[in-house]
A and B are shown apart, each in its own frame.
Chain A
Amino acid sequence: MMEGTLEARALAGVLRKLQRERVTGILTVQGEDEIMAFSLLDGKVVSADALNQSLEDGLGEVLVKEELVDVEDFAGLVAEYQAGGGRVTELLIERSYLTREQLLGSLRRLTYQLSRQALTWKQGEYRFYEGDDVAYEAGIVPLDIDELLVRAADDLEAAGPFGSHVSRPDQVFASVLGSGPDSPLPSEVLEENRPEAEAIYRALDGRRSVSRIAEEIGVSIYAVRALSAHWLECGLIETPGDRQIPGPAEPSEPSEPAATGPIADLGLEAMLAKPLDATELALDLGPESEVEFEAESESRAPFALPARKTGTVSCWPPRLMGLALFGAALWVLGTFAGRLLLPFPWQGGLREAFDSQRERISVHKIHSAATTFFLLEGRYPEDLSLLVADRLLSPDAVADPSGRRFVFSVGPASYLVQKVSTKESVETGWSGAIAGNFLLDPQFLVSEVASEPPLVLLD
Chain B
Amino acid sequence: MRDDVRQRLNSIQESWIEWLTSVQEGDAAGAQRQADDLVSIADGLGLPRLPELAVAAAARAERFARENDFEGAELSLAAAELLDPDRAETAFARATVQEQRGERLAAMRSTVRGYWRSLFDPLYRYVLVGDLLLWCLTIVTLLVAGLVSVQWATRGVLLFRDLVRFFERSVPSIIAYTLTLALLLWPVLLPAGLLWLALYWSVLAWGYGSRWEKLAVITAWVILGLTPVLVSEQIRRMNLDTTAQVRAMQSASQGRLVGSLFQDLEPLSEQLPESVALRHFLADLHLSIHQWELARNLYREVLAAEPANAAAAGDLGTCYFYEGNLEQAIVLLQQATSLDPKQAKAFFNLSRALSEEYRFDESGQALRRSSALDAGGVSAWIRTADRSEIVMVAGGFDRQGEIRDELARLWREQESNSDLFSLWRRTMSLPLALIFVFPAIFLYFISTKVGNRSRRIERAWFAEPFETIRRVLLPGFVEAEEDRWSSALGALLVPLVLLAIPFWSRVTYGVPWALVPPRLGLGFFPLVGLMVFMLIRGVRILRSSRSRSG
A residues with a Cβ closer than 8 A to B are: 195-196, 211, 215-216, 218, 285-287, 289-295, 311, 313, 315, 317-319, 321-323, 325-326, 328-330, 332-334, 337-338, 340-347, 349-350, 353-354, 357-358, 360-362, 364-365, 368-369, 371-372, 375-376, 390-394, 396-397, 401, 436-442, 444-445, 448-449
Counting chain A CB atoms within 10 Å of each CB, which of B10, B173, B191 scores highest? B10
Give Cα A9 to B10, complex, Å. Answer: 108
Count contacts between A and B, CB distance < 8 Å.
Answer: 255
Given contacts A322-B152, A323-B149, A325-B148, contact A397 B510 (CB under 8 A): yes
- The 8 residue pairs across chains A and B that have the minimum distance between CB atoms: A322-B153, A439-B259, A318-B156, A329-B145, A326-B149, A322-B152, A375-B56, A437-B259
Given A318-B152, A376-B60, residue A350 in contact with residue B235 (CB < 8 A): yes
Q: Are A369 and B514 in touch, CB under 8 angstroms?
A: yes
Measured between beta carbons, the chain A residues less than 8 angstroms from B461 are 287, 289, 315, 319
- Which residues in A have their C-beta under 8 angstroms from that of B1? 448
Q: Decide if B165 touches A341 in the complex (CB within 8 Å).
A: no
Chain A interface mostly:
helix
Minimum CB–CB distance from B44 to chain A (whole Å) comes to 14
Beta-carbon contact of B138 and A341 below 8 Å = yes
Residues of B within 8 A of A358 (CB): 509-510
Residues of A contacting B516 in the complex (Cβ-Cβ under 8 angstroms): 391-394
Residues of B within 8 A of A371 (CB): 52, 259
Given A329-B142, A337-B506, A344–B192 Cβ distance below 8 Å?
yes
| Most chain B CB neighbours (cut-off 10 Å) among A333, A393, A436 | A333
A319: contacting residue among B138, B153, B515, CB under 8 A? B153
Give complex CA distance A8, B452 in Å: 36
Contact A354 B231 (CB under 8 A): yes
Cα(A368)–Cα(B260), bound, Å: 11
Answer whether residue B157 sits at the interface, using C-beta atoms and an 8 A cutoff.
yes
Say whether A322 contacts B194, CB under 8 Å.
no
Check B231–A392 contact: CB distance below 8 A.
no
Question: Are the C-beta atoms of B232 and A323 separated by less than 8 Å?
Answer: no
How many residues on chain B are close to A (CB under 8 Å)? 104
The answer to whether residues A357 and B238 also contact, given A295-B165, A349-B425 and a CB cut-off of 8 A, is: yes
User: Contacts A195-B456, A291-B161, A318-B157 given: A444-B13 contact, CB under 8 Å?
Assistant: yes
Provide the bound-state CA to CA distance between A317 and B238, in Å.
Answer: 45
B128-165 CB contacts (< 8 Å) to partner A: 134, 137-138, 141-142, 145-146, 148-154, 156-162, 164-165
B-chain residues with CB within 8 Å of residue A449 when the two chains form the complex: 3, 6
A225 CB to closest chain B CB (Å) equals: 15
**Closest CB in chain B relative to A93 CB, distance in Å:** 27
- Please name all residues of chain A whose beta carbon is closer than 8 Å to the beta carbon of B180 when the two chains form the complex: 317
Is B53 close to A, CB under 8 A?
yes
Docked pose: A361 CA to B146 CA in angstroms: 32
Quote the shortest CB–CB distance from B422 to chain A (angstroms). Answer: 5
CB pair A361–B242 under 8 Å, yes or no, is yes
In the complex, whether B195 has a CB less than 8 A from a CB of chain A is yes
Q: A311-B165, A341-B231, A343-B195 are in contact. List 12 more A-B contacts (CB 8 A).
A: A293-B161, A318-B156, A325-B198, A344-B195, A354-B235, A365-B514, A376-B59, A391-B62, A397-B510, A439-B13, A439-B259, A449-B6
**Contact residues of B between 453 and 501, Cβ < 8 Å to A:** 453-454, 456-463, 467, 474, 477, 499-500
A359: min CB distance to chain B, Å: 10
Q: How far is the CA of A216 from the CA of B549 in the complex (A)?
A: 11
Which A residue sits closest to B503, measured CB to CB? A337
Write 7 A-B pairs (CB below 8 A) sorted by A numbering: A289-B458, A290-B458, A293-B454, A313-B161, A318-B159, A357-B239, A375-B52
Contact with A along B405-428 (1 / 0, CB 8 A): 000000000000000001001101
Are A196 and B145 in contact, with the CB atoms below 8 A?
no
Q: Which of A291, A376, A445 contacts B20, CB < 8 Å?
A: A376
Write the B175-218 contact mask toward A (1 if CB under 8 angstroms, else 0): 00100110011000001101101100100000000000000000
| B residues less than 8 Å from A444 (CB atoms) | 6, 9-10, 13
- Assembly CA distance A454 to B507 (angstroms): 57
Residues of chain B with a CB closer than 8 A to A334's CB: 503
Whether B146 contacts A321 by the Cβ 8 Å rule is: no
A448 engages B228 (CB within 8 Å): no
Query: Residues of B contacting A338 with CB < 8 Å?
Result: 506-507
B153 with A340: CB separation less than 8 A: no
Instruction: Report how far A68 CA is from B514 CA in the complex, Å.
Output: 67
- Chain A hits for B549, CB < 8 A: 211, 215
CB distance from A275 to the nearest CB of B (A): 22
- Which among A287, A326, A437, A441 has the highest number of chain B CB atoms within 10 Å? A326
Partner of B145, one of A286, A325, A365, A393: A325
Query: In terms of DSSP, what is the predominant structure of the interface of chain B?
Result: helix
| A294 B195 Cβ-Cβ under 8 A | no
Q: Are B242 and A372 in contact (CB under 8 A)?
A: no
Which B residues touch A393, using CB under 8 A? 516
B145–A326 contact, CB under 8 A?
A: yes
A322 to chain B minimum Cβ distance, whole angstroms, is 3
Q: How far is the CB of A346 from chain B (nearest CB, A)?
A: 5
Known A-B contacts A357-B239, A436-B260; A291 and B456 likewise in contact (beta carbons under 8 Å)? yes
Contacts A218-B458, A438-B10; is A341 near B141 (CB within 8 Å)?
Answer: yes
- Residues of A within 8 Å of B160, CB to CB, are 313, 315, 317-318
Is the pair A291, B242 in contact by a Cβ cutoff of 8 Å? no
- Give chain B residues whose Cβ lies under 8 Å from the Cβ of A328: 145, 194
CB neighbours of B381 from chain A (8 A): none
Q: Which residues of A contact B500 (CB under 8 A)?
A: 333
B512 at the interface (CB under 8 A from A): yes
Nearest CB of chain A from residue B127's CB, rounded to whole Å: 7
Give the residues in chain B near A218, CB-CB below 8 Å: 458-460
Separation of A372 and B467 alpha carbons in the complex (Å): 59
Contact of A333 among B137, B191, B503 (CB under 8 A): B503
Shortest C-beta distance, B421 to chain A (Å), equals 9
- B263 within 8 Å of A (CB atoms): yes
Establish whether residues B242 and A349, one from each chain, have CB atoms under 8 Å apart when the complex forms: no
CB of B16 closer than 8 Å to a CB of A: yes
Complex Cα gap A449–B138 (Å) = 55
Q: Which of A287, A294, A442 contacts B462 (CB 8 A)?
A: A287
Minimum Cβ distance to chain B for residue A434 (Å) = 9
B23 nearest CB across to chain A (Å): 11
B302 contact set on A, CB distance < 8 A:
none
State whether the Cβ of B353 lies closer than 8 Å to any Cβ in chain A. no
Closest chain A residue to B428, Cβ basis: A346
Given A291-B456, A436-B260, A318:B59 Cβ within 8 A: no
CB of B455, distance to nearest CB on chain A (Å)? 9
Q: Is the CB of A287 within 8 A of B463?
A: yes
Asked if residues A445 and B425 are in contact (CB atoms below 8 Å), the reply is: no
- Kindly report which residue of chain A lies nearest to residue B504, judged by CB atoms: A337
Chain A residue with minimal CB distance to B453? A294
Could you say which residues of chain B place their CB within 8 Å of the CB of A319?
Answer: 153, 156-157, 461
Minimum Cβ distance to chain B for residue A342 (Å): 6
User: In the bound complex, do residue A437 and residue B263 qualify as a contact, i.e. CB atoms below 8 Å apart?
Assistant: yes
Chain A residues positioned under 8 Å from B181 (CB to CB)? 317
Whether B146 lies near A329 (C-beta < 8 A) is: yes
Judge whether A372 and B59 touch: CB under 8 Å: yes
Contact of B228 among A313, A325, A342, A345 (CB under 8 A): A342
Closest to A452 in B: B3
**Roughly how many angstroms separate A369 CA and B53 CA in the complex, as a whole number?**
12
A317 to B158, CA, bound (A): 11
